[in-house]
Amino acid sequence: MKLRLAVSLTVVTMILLVGCSPTGGHGSTTTTTGGSTTTTEVSTTTTTSPTTGHVAGLTENQVCPGLISPAGCTTPFDPASDQVTISTGSVVFRKLQSASNGVFTADLPPGLYNFDADTSFAGAGVACPLVSVTVTAGATVPATLHCTIQLP
């Protein structure tokens, strides 16, 4: 009976070691039974499928000086460093800062996300429309965020 219990404990310990290593690993278990010690090497390799998607993003700003003509602002959008908020519904999932060239990336679980850019420009009106992106596991999806800055 004691030998079965020791063998059962060894098997449970080996399963726990394997289960605690999500990407594979090595370990050993040591069992003492009736004065003799047995060491068992445990080695695992686990292959996992992609569980996240990749967002390749860009933030661009358009600076519109003075009054806007009826045709609208004709200044082109240029890459800019802006704060990006990623949310699902009303819950903020992550905040990040795009680089000076406007580039940002995010690895996210599959789902629908809202991307919102925010830029600081003292004394100006800023409009940055929300962009919705659907992320799929194992895929890359683009997201371009535009902010229009209206100078007085």
Q: What is the mean pLDDT of each run of 10 residues along the chain (152 residues)?
A: 35 33 37 43 40 95 82 90 94 95 96 94 85 95 95 85
What pLDDT does residue 83 have?
96
Shared domain check, 121 and 76? yes
Cβ-contact 90, 102 below 8 angstroms:
no
Q: Are residue 18 and residue 63 in the same domain, yes or no?
A: no
What does the alpha-carbon distance between residue 106 and residue 126 come to, in Å, rounded to a whole number? 24
User: Which pLDDT score, from 0 to 100, does residue 12 have?
Assistant: 31
What pTM, to 2 d.p., does this model score? 0.64
Same domain, residue pair 58 and 124: yes
Give, for 80, the enclosing helix (H) or strand (E): none
57 in the same domain as 124:
yes
> Structural domain tally of the chain?
2
Number of DSSP helices (H) and strands (E) in the chain, helices first: 1, 11
Regarding whether 128 and 65 lie in a shared domain, the answer is: yes
Phi, psi of 9 (to 5 degrees): -65, -40
Q: Are 60 and 111 contained in the same domain?
A: yes
Residues 40 and 57 in one domain: no
- Shared domain for 35 and 109, answered yes or no, is no
Domain shared by 85 and 138, yes or no = yes
User: What is the domain-level CATH number for residue 111?
Assistant: 2.60.40.10
- What is the span of the domain harbouring residue 13? 2-44
Same domain, 6 and 75: no
- Predicted pLDDT at 104: 97
Question: Same structural domain for residues 39 and 57?
Answer: no
Whether residues 36 and 67 fall in one domain: no
Quote the pLDDT of residue 52. 93
